[in-house]
């Protein structure tokens, strides 16, 4: 493997990624971890590493439905990204509190997972995601209203 992302303009050599991952694994976690307020002047980043190996095609039961591990992970990541973007929406503005990266890996290869207008980008802002949804997915939502659980279906992006 010579590069991690052969189709992206910014390629990451595999040996550098491996070295960075090894260093990250050796980091000591403190009992009282570092905390900082996330603001527009002090943003953070979310990096999702997604297993795309052959075993992800195996069936599992997730949320009461039989699907592949890959489908379950996609649902969880899409929901998480949706929530992250929603937390940035204030009125008519999408604020930049963080950037998000999705990297898929399997075997000896890894690639960026953004598609459509975001394809090939490493880090994507919440505004980019808000204005470039890949598709809308029906999601069943439960809300408690006056002690009653009300179920409805929403069309959510991502």
What's the token pair of residue 118? 């975001």
Looking at the predicted structure, is the pLDDT value of residue 93 above 50?
yes
Task: State how far the Cα of 122 lies from the Cα of 134, in Å rounded to an integer.
Answer: 16
What's the token pair of residue 11? 């390629």
What pLDDT is recorded for position 156? 67
**Proportion of the chain above pLDDT 70, given as a percent:** 88
Residue ranges per structural domain of the chain: 38-157
pLDDT band at 151 (very low <50, low <70, confident <90, very high): confident
Instruction: State pLDDT tens for residues 102-136.
Output: 999 998 889 999 988 999 899 999 999 999 877 77
Task: State how far the Cα of 151 lies from the Cα of 144, in Å rounded to an integer.
Answer: 9
Instruction: State pLDDT tens for residues 36-67.
Output: 888 899 899 999 999 999 999 999 998 888 99
Contact, 62 vs 75, CB < 8 A? Answer: yes
What pLDDT is recorded for position 1? 37
């Amino acid at each position: 493997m010579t590069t991690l992302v052969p189709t992206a303009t910014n390629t990451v050599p595999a040996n550098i990624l491996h070295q960075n991952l090894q260093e990250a694994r050796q980091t000591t976690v403190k009992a009282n971890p570092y905390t900082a307020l996330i603001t527009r002047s002090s943003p953070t980043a979310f990096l999702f590493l997604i297993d795309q190996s052959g075993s992800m095609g195996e069936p599992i039961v997730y949320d009461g439905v039989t699907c592949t591990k890959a489908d379950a992970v996609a649902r969880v990541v899409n929901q998480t990204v949706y929530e992250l973007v929603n937390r940035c929406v204030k009125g008519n503005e999408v604020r930049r509190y963080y950037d998000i990266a999705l990297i898929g890996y399997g075997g000896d290869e890894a690639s960026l997972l953004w598609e459509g207008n975001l394809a090939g980008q490493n880090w994507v802002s919440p505004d980019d995601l808000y204005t470039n949804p890949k598709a809308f997915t029906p999601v069943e939502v439960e809300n408690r209203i006056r002690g009653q659980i009300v179920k409805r279906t929403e069309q959510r992006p991502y």
